[in-house]
Amino acid sequence: SACASDKKVLEVAVETFYANGGTGLATEDGLVAANLLRDVSPTYDIAADGIAVVPQGLKCVAPTTTVAP
């Protein structure tokens, strides 16, 4: 699913950040600045432990796409 894919991309970016010698808390903005992400995730945040989590009170809902007839 799109949600699972988005989560995996975010987790791999966090892992790459630390593997490349990153220190401190990995943030989405920091991952974008380090060219590890194209943009911040619309569905997930990064928790203090580096795990991608859905923000409290929300659920992952993949954007809908419309196919032209």
pLDDT (tens digit, 9 = 90+) per residue, 1-13? Answer: 778 888 888 899 9
- Residue 65 has a pLDDT of 43
Q: What is the pLDDT of residues 20-68, one digit of tens each?
A: 999 888 999 999 999 999 998 888 888 888 888 887 776 776 554 444 4
pTM above 0.85, yes or no: no
Rg of the chain in Å (alpha carbons): 13
- Residue 61 has a pLDDT of 66
Q: How far apart are CA 10 and CA 31, in angstroms?
A: 9
